[in-house]
Amino acid sequence: MKMTKKVLSILLAVLLFAACIPFAAAAENDPFRISCVVNGNTETQRGLTWFTNVDCATVVSYTDGVNEYTAEGTSSAWEGNFVHKVLLKNLTPGTTYTYKVGNGTVWSEEGTFTTDNGDDKAEFVVFADIQASNLENFEKGANVVNTALEMYPDADFVANLGDFTDDSTNEEWDFYDEAMGKINRNVTLAPVAGNHDGLGVWDWFETMFNLDTSDSVQNLNGVNYSFDYGNIHFAVLNTNDLLSISTAQLSWLKNDMNSTACDWKVVLMHKSPYSLGKDAKWPDALYLKSALGPILDECNVDLVLSGHDHQYLRTKPLTNDELDEDGTVFVLAGTAGAKRYEIREFLVDNFMPLDYIEACVVQKDGYGNYFNGTDFNSVDEANIGGVFNHISVDGGNLTLNSYVVSDATNEVKCIDTMTLTKEQGLNVPTYDGNNSTPDYIYGMGIGVSFASLALYTLTEWIVIFIKMLPELLISYIKTGTF
Ligand SMILES: [Fe+2]
């Protein structure tokens, strides 16, 4: 009897263990952190990435609703997990695909993306700086992005202007995934590297997203790349490149912008040359203004979208830091996150002439959250919330609308509108060479890049900084922050 009981116990234990195996295996192979990003030709290609706890096969199953396809890719170890990458090629333009990723047996939930149809229309959602470190704040950011996508369900893609997380740890990327996983599976993303997206471990950003990095000047702490959508050419900069931008990346930008036949030219980057936020006073952000100015002018760039300083600001058109109605508009996109910056008034007329500002909204109570042209302390409670932007291009018209999603009520309020117009068909490409940057060219340029930044800092920046130092100190005494 005793023996029978023992045998039954062992049998029961074995059965329980066997029953658990499929669940354990499924959990270990379950894909997470799935993203679908622009990669090369947006009419025919997408770059997919996901992670698993254990190494396994890398398979995508996808369908256009008529035919079913599979594609395989590669996996590699990354920070305690395994990262899987697949480049989907030969897609049909203007087609919605449904896909799932996995090892061929265990699959993710389904996601979707739609390829560019090749006409001259495009629309996209832009947000920046969620930069959260806990699930609650990631969910607040996700609410802003979800609100944007509910308002604009036909957006072709979403641009995240960087600082996805605060410290770029496994835990934070998991919170990001938990809050934004459904969004990420169902949009095409154009990610921009922020300074928080590789802290400590330099190639987090390149690992997280399957981008076309063939033209990147270097792949540490961010990448630069470009793509077309509709009649817009986008150059995505990595402003973590030697404190902000190297001579090699400036050269890449010039060649890249000169090689497109698109009528509209847009730069996406993280750090902002024009801002009234706390980071606007440092040489890295301000160097961008002098370094990019001549290239944006020569290449007729229409719009620069950036983040980093967590407030909203739009300039009038500028050429080489001078007002010019044919110049480039700079938009600091506001933050979709919960960390928000007040205005530093001492920057006005030192680094940021007042009459350059077309619109400025601070999303934070207390210091003044609305600039009405004269008064920085005019408070508007409705501006306290997360910001997103929507941009649409239809032929010769580009329209920007920017919105705050109220923290208190979730109501959406338009805070800025802009329309640019241009005659189409005037842009002629002038560069058709190889725009890749060999490592030795980048290496040789490091000295020149640091010298350029140092020269700017020690001649132009330091003079202005010393001039505004008394105002900066008074501001610090009053508010307790720089
Ligand atoms: Fe930043």
Would you state the structure tokens that stand for residue 284, as one six-digit string? 């890295």
CA separation for the pair 419, 459 (Å, rounded)? 37
Report if residue 428 sits inside a domain: no
Q: How far is the CA of 162 from the centre of ligand 1 (A)?
A: 7
pLDDT tens, per residue, the chain with 482 residues: 444 455 445 544 444 444 444 433 346 789 999 999 999 999 999 999 999 999 999 999 999 999 999 999 999 999 999 999 999 999 999 999 999 999 999 999 999 999 999 999 999 999 999 999 999 999 999 999 999 999 999 999 999 999 999 999 999 999 999 999 999 999 999 999 999 998 778 899 999 999 999 999 988 899 999 999 999 999 999 999 988 999 999 999 999 999 999 999 999 999 999 999 999 999 999 999 999 999 999 999 999 999 999 999 999 999 999 999 999 999 999 999 999 998 888 898 888 899 999 999 999 887 667 787 778 888 888 999 999 999 999 999 999 999 999 999 999 999 999 999 999 999 999 999 999 999 999 999 999 999 999 999 999 999 999 999 998 898 888 877 77
Contact in structure between 385 and 406 (CB atoms under 8 Å): yes
Q: How far is the CA of 337 from the centre of ligand 1 (A)?
A: 12
**What is the distance in A from the centroid of ligand 1 to the CA of 467?**
26
Q: Are 387 and 369 in contact (CB under 8 A)?
A: no
State in Å: Cα 271 to ligand 1 middle: 6
8 domain residue, yes or no: no
Residue 178 to residue 311: CA distance in whole angstroms: 26
Same-domain status, 112 and 127: no
Q: Which residue has the tokens 């079913």?
A: 68
Q: Does residue 477 lie in a domain region?
A: no
Q: How far apart are CA 155 and CA 131, in angstroms?
A: 23
How far apart are the CA of 7 and the centre of ligand 1, in A? 63
Q: Which of 174, 212, 175, 195 is nearest to 87 (CA)?
A: 212
Q: What is the DSSP letter of 244?
A: B
> CA–CA separation, 228 vs 91, rounded Å?
16
- Beta strand 303-306 pairing with 329-333: parallel
> In this predicted structure, what is the pLDDT of residue 27?
65
C-alpha to C-alpha distance for 168 and 411, rounded to whole angstroms? 31
What is the β-pairing status of strands 357-361 and 111-114?
A: unpaired
Same domain, 340 and 196: yes
pLDDT of 297: 96
Q: What domain range is 256 assigned to?
A: 119-421
Among 365, 394, 421, residue at a domain's last position: 421
CA of 197 to the centre of ligand 1 (A): 9
The domain that holds 105 is classified in CATH as 2.60.40.10
- Number of domains into which the chain is organized: 2
Backbone angles phi, psi at 284, to 5 degrees: -60, -45
Please tell me the predicted confidence (pLDDT) of residue 6.
Answer: 54
Cross-sheet strand order for the sheet of 32-37: 74-78, 81-88, 46-52, 32-37, 189-191, 157-160, 121-127, 385-394, 397-406, 412-421
H helix or E strand, kind and range, residue 16? helix 2-29
| Sheet with 225-229: strands ordered across | 225-229, 232-236, 264-268, 303-306, 329-333, 312-315, 357-361
Residue 30 covered by a domain: no
In this structure, the answer to whether residues 261 and 395 fall within a common structural domain is: yes
Structure tokens at 78: 């990354």
In this structure, the answer to whether residues 96 and 132 fall within a common structural domain is no
215 and 362, same structural domain? yes
Q: Is 193 found in the same domain as 336?
A: yes
Residues 139 and 274 in one domain: yes
Q: For residues 254 and 241, give the distance between their C-alpha atoms in angstroms, rounded to a whole number.
A: 16
The verdict on residue 393 lying in a domain is: yes
Tell me if 192 sits within 8 A of 270, measured CB to CB.
yes
Distance 311 CA to ligand 1 centre (A): 12
Q: How many angstroms is it from 279 CA to the middle of ligand 1?
A: 9
Taking the centre of ligand 1 as the mean of its atom positions, its distance from the CA of residue 310, in whole angstroms, is 8
Q: Say if residue 88 is in the same domain as residue 138.
A: no
CA distance 129 to 133: 12
- CA torsion 260-263-264-267 (nearest 10°) is 20
Q: Please report, for the domain that includes residue 230, its CATH number.
A: 3.60.21.10
Spell out which residues have Cβ within 5 A of ligand 1, the ion.
163, 194-195, 308
How many CB atoms within 10 Å of residue 233? 25
Alpha carbon distances (Å) from 106 to 51, 80, 181, 431, 453: 13, 20, 18, 47, 51
Q: Are residues 290 and 409 in the same domain?
A: yes
Is there a domain that residue 311 lies in? yes
CA of 423 to the centre of ligand 1 (A): 35
State the distance from the centre of ligand 1 to the C-alpha of 249, rounded, in angstroms.
19
Is 476 within the bounds of a domain? Answer: no
Chain-centre distance of CA 292, in angstroms? 19
Q: Which amino acid is at 238?
A: N
* Spatial CA neighbour of 364 closest among 376, 374, 352: 376
Q: Structure pTM? A: 0.93
Does residue 452 lie in a domain region?
no
pLDDT at 220: 85
Q: Which of 372, 391, 421 is the last residue of a domain?
A: 421
Both 68 and 178 in one domain: the answer is: no
Looking at the structure, do residues 219 and 268 belong to the same domain, yes or no? yes
Whole-angstrom CA distances from 38 to 155, 281, 388 are 14, 33, 20
In a shared domain, residues 408 and 267 = yes
CB 197 within 8 A of CB 165: yes
